[in-house]
Amino acid sequence: MAEALTAARVLEFTTERDLVVLMELLGLAREPEPTPAEARPGKKPTRRRPTSPVVPGGGDTTALPVVAGMLTVAEPLPSEPVAPIAYVSAKPLDPGPASGGSVAYEPIVPLHQLRAAMTMIIRRPRRSVLVDIEAAVELLAEKRPLEQLPRLTEQTLDGGVTIIADVGPEMLPYLDDVDHLVESAQHVAGEPETRVCWIEDSADLPPLGTEHPTMIISTLGAARAPGSPPGSAARWQELARTMINDEIDVTAVVPHRRRWTDHPAEVRFVAWDDLSEVGRGRT
C-alpha cells in the first residue's frame, strides 16, 4: 500500500476513482466475492456427483458409510437375468457371377500349320498314271527299247495311316494334345483310312502291317512319371527296332526336341515345336 500512496502523490491522484484505477494497475485491487449459483441469472445450479460407494443388489444399506454432504445411491438389480439380444440372421449375399468354365484348349501350333505338317508326315510317294516325258525322251535318245513307259512319282494320302497314341502315365500332361493331333491326322488322311491304337505302354501294341505308314505320338519312355511301368524306354527302343526290321515306315511325333541316339536311325523324329516348319516343307 505504501507504494500505491507514493505513486498517487507523484501522479497527483486525489479522487477515489483515480485511486481505484491505480490499485488495479498495480494489481492490488480486491477481487469481488463470488455470487451464489442460485443468484446468478440464467445459470442453473450444478448437481454434485455422488462420490460415496454404490452397492449393487437389494441388501441392507444401513451399514453404508455416510459422508456429510455426499449423496449415497444404492439401486437393487433385477431378480431375473438380463436376456441376450435376439440374433437376427442376415440375408445371404447374392451369388457371384457364374464362372466362365474351364480354360479353352490352346493348340500346339495354328490349325492350318498342323494340318500341313500332318500332310507332310503321312503322305507317301507312289507311281502315277502319268507318263514321265523326260525319262521317255532319254530312253529314245539312248536307243533303248520302250518296253514299259516310265511313270511320274507323286505324293498321296490314299494309303492312310496307323497312329499309335500313347495315353499312359508319361503322357498325362499331354492328353489334350494327343487328341488334337489324332483329330488333325484323321482330318487329313480321312477317318476311314486312319487306324488309331490307344495304348498305355508299348507292350499293349497290337500287330502292325506294312501297307500303311505308322505315326507314334509318345515320349517313348524319355520322361519318367509316377505310375509308369519300369523299363518303358527300353521297350520302346525294342519296338522301334522291330518295326524297322519289319520294314514299317515309322515317324515319331514327340513332345520335346532332343537327340534320340538310342533309337534306330531309320525312325524319323518330329518334335511338336517343329511341326510348323515341317508343314512348310523345311525339315
- What does the pLDDT look like over 209-246, one tens digit per residue? 788 889 999 988 887 777 777 788 888 888 888 888 88
Structure confidence at residue 246 (pLDDT): 85
Strands in 194-199's sheet, in edge-to-edge order, are 194-199, 161-166, 214-217, 250-254, 268-271
Q: Do the Cβ atoms of 163 and 215 come closer than 8 Å? A: yes
Structure confidence at residue 90 (pLDDT): 66
> Is pLDDT of 69 > 80?
no
Please tell me the pTM assigned to this model.
0.57
What is the sign, positive or negative, of the torsion defined by CA atoms of 67, 70, 71, 74? negative
| All domains of the chain in start order, with CATH | 2-31 (no CATH), 111-126+155-279 (3.40.50)
> Is pLDDT of 180 > 90?
yes
What is the distance between the alpha carbons of residues 23 and 39, in angstroms, rounded to a whole number?
A: 28
User: What are 149's three cell numbers?
Assistant: 513307259
* SS3 (DSSP) at 251: strand
Most confidently predicted of 53-57, 75-79, 157-161, 204-208: 157-161
Structure confidence at residue 38 (pLDDT): 47
With cut-offs at 50, 70 and 90, classify the pLDDT of residue 96.
low
Half-sphere exposure of 103 (CA within 13 A, CB side): 4
Read off the pLDDT of each residue in 130-139 and give the average, rounded to a whole number.
84
Structure confidence at residue 241 (pLDDT): 84
Bridge-based pairing state of the strands 194-199 and 214-217: unpaired
With cut-offs at 50, 70 and 90, classify the pLDDT of residue 60.
low
> Is pLDDT of 86 > 80?
no
More confident residue, 202 or 143: 143
User: What are 143's three cell numbers?
Assistant: 536307243
